[in-house]
Amino acid sequence: MSRFLYLNIYSFLLVFAGILTLAAPFYMFSKWTLIVQGIAAVKLFAISGKLFSSWGSKKREIELLIKRNQDNFRPDTFEKFMQAPCGRLIARQVLRDLNKPDEYKSLLKLRKPFWVRLRNNCAPVKTTIYINKEYV
């Protein structure tokens, strides 16, 4: 239970931000601000829902990282996790499970600068779909 709460802290923060967005009395300014307020709250709740629904994936990634780093510590396996806040939480949890929390400082070097991450995440990604014609 504590692991779930720790790894989903950003989801809980987004839910809290959505509640605060709905609680703000913007309707006093204009009726149009009420529409913007509702859209912002729905967007925050949708993003938090996506993060909550990724719990199964987070558990699998933790197990995989523990298996890869059990015998010897391999910082390269953590590189993709160091690019996002939720991934850094996963990295910290894995290091805690491996009794190597001091290694987190060395993993921070794998984190790319904000502008590089922003450019990579906003660039279009080519998706290829392969259809196996022999599959019945």
- Within this chain, do residues 70 and 116 fall inside the same structural domain, yes or no? yes
pLDDT at 29 over 80: no
pLDDT, average across residues 47-52: 91
- Within this chain, do residues 46 and 61 fall inside the same structural domain, yes or no? no
Number of domains in the chain: 2
* Predicted TM-score (pTM) of this structure: 0.72
- Within this chain, do residues 72 and 88 fall inside the same structural domain, yes or no? yes
Proportion of the chain above pLDDT 70, given as a percent = 99
pLDDT at 56 over 70: yes
- Within this chain, do residues 100 and 69 fall inside the same structural domain, yes or no? yes
- Within this chain, do residues 111 and 58 fall inside the same structural domain, yes or no? yes
* pLDDT for residue 136: 67
Structural domain range at position 11: 1-53
Cα separation, 50 vs 55, whole angstroms: 9
- Within this chain, do residues 24 and 64 fall inside the same structural domain, yes or no? no
pLDDT, average across residues 2-20: 89
Reading the block at residue 42, the tokens are 């729905």
- Within this chain, do residues 64 and 115 fall inside the same structural domain, yes or no? yes
- Within this chain, do residues 43 and 65 fall inside the same structural domain, yes or no? no
